[in-house]
Chain A
């Protein structure tokens, strides 16, 4: 917050100074830039703590998601859950965990295609009917 405030104060001071000298067109550019910096910090502040996690413990498989203010927690029975990989039109894959008619997507935002496929293989060995 202090970084944004100091940067904004300096930029606007410069913009105002040149405006008084007759170069008022500096001010809108300074304003736009300050808005961009403030938004960048706000975005990171909101989303720096985002995560998705899968925890396998005993008979349960827990999927937790945190996206800014939205938290979700889904618990499946580990041995009833299924791992589903769907191919998308672009050639990438999406990863789902499902059980009893409920489906949860995992790794859409935070993993690349290779990582999703790798995780799917690992999960298939640890959930569902394990032979």
Chain B
């Protein structure tokens, strides 16, 4: 008789409890949970900042704050939402779901994973600390340049800019760590038989996201470092008086900044077809077409950056190139939209909360995409640039396309993660309140932009008052309705109806073969994919 016991490659030394569990954990599910909780907290922090801004804009004239503080709130709101809310949410899902979907016991580099997360809280503190320091008379508050750090304004700014530069460096290191981990995991730890073209779409979305981060983070890191040396070490990279070029900063920033949009969206595009096929109860339409579209969008995203500053004064051939290359992105994006809709076509659809968010997401993100096409037109952009039309456009892409997508993912996977079903009625109420108040917040901003209201101003002409009032009231409803989201998540984590392993009738994929919640070590024996 023969007995054998084998220990595979796994980095978990122990399973501590209490605070140590969270500080030292290398478990992908623990780290994923920490990312998601951190994201939710920062989502509320960033949301509160912008609600203060919206209240200031409720009527013309200065009501609550000085213009400089207003500028600080806008800049930090954007940095928090992009780097500390949306990106960590996507990374949280990657940590939770990639090993489960790929049939791996964990991420390939678990300690790196732990470091990647624990870099985030110090970065968030650096971003927001200048507000507190200013209360004690230290410095003049947070970064007030908007999230774009444009030189020469940022060269002249206060210590908030330095804090933001270091925060961005730390966030960049964290992102690169996460990306390396995702790439290495996907290439080395897929279950036997899972070829690249059999991977779940979410893994494809994240693989391309990781490559985009690897390609663009060094450019951002270089740009903000040059900014730092311009500020403190006498260099003139962006100072025209010293032979530098402020426009160079814009090229550097947007070489990172435009792919960043797809970095935020590709993970959502990855899991959304899975939600659609689950609740349409039919297979995903056009898997290969979606994968190739992801690649097409990923590649195009790094060659279109200058459409963010058409009005800066570029040569006409450059304008034409950036206009047509930007418009070209709509081709693979249209393929994706077709596939998403075709997945639902003649399906046996039911509209649980994840599906409500998914369908709402297709419509609202579609509006974001179409209005982006308007801005890609050089002639039209000359009119709309730096107006509220742009603000409304990128909130349709990043709030509807990003955050509402993340919400769909939360409701979809929450029963799997916690082992309990969430409150469906509250979920649906949350969706309708969010969708309606979001539209009432941002549709008026399209009209404000078309009428010529510039963005990033604390005061405005009387003609814009009505739309601003509507937008502010709706924004407050939007903010308050997120309390339902938090309540639903917390109550689901604490208890509720027991979730089955499959959770949803139409769910398909390796993650649904594990118990709900999955054991501490998922897949101690690799599943084989046929």
Contacts and interface: CB of A to CB of B under 8 A. Distances in A.
Given A29-B222, A92-B14, A126 B7 contact: no
B214 A11 contact: yes
A29 B183 CA distance: 19
Nearest to B227: A25
A85 interface: no
A56 interface: yes
Nearest to B9: A50
Contacts of A18: 219, 222, 252, 255
A106 B248 CA distance: 57
A84 to B, nearest CB: 16
Interface string A32-57: 11001100110110011111111111
A85 B6 CA distance: 18
A55 B4 CA distance: 4
A22 B237 contact: yes
Given A23-B222, A23-B248, A29-B222, A36 B215 contact: no
A41 B226 CA distance: 30
A128 interface: no
How many interface residues does chain B have, given as a range?
A: 35 or more
Contacts of B4: 53-56
Given A110-B9, A112-B13, A21 B248 contact: yes
Interface residues of A, number: 49
28 contacts: A7-B183, A14-B215, A14-B218, A18-B255, A23-B222, A23-B223, A25-B225, A26-B218, A26-B223, A29-B218, A33-B214, A40-B112, A43-B109, A44-B188, A47-B9, A49-B9, A51-B6, A54-B3, A56-B4, A57-B1, A92-B13, A107-B7, A109-B11, A110-B7, A110-B8, A112-B12, A114-B15, A126-B3
Interface of A: 3, 7, 10-11, 14-15, 18, 21-23, 25-30, 32-33, 36-37, 40-41, 43-44, 47-57, 92, 106-107, 109-115, 119, 122-123, 126
Given A21-B248, A30-B222, 13 more contacts: A18-B255, A26-B252, A29-B219, A29-B222, A29-B225, A40-B108, A47-B9, A53-B4, A54-B5, A54-B6, A56-B3, A111-B12, A123-B5
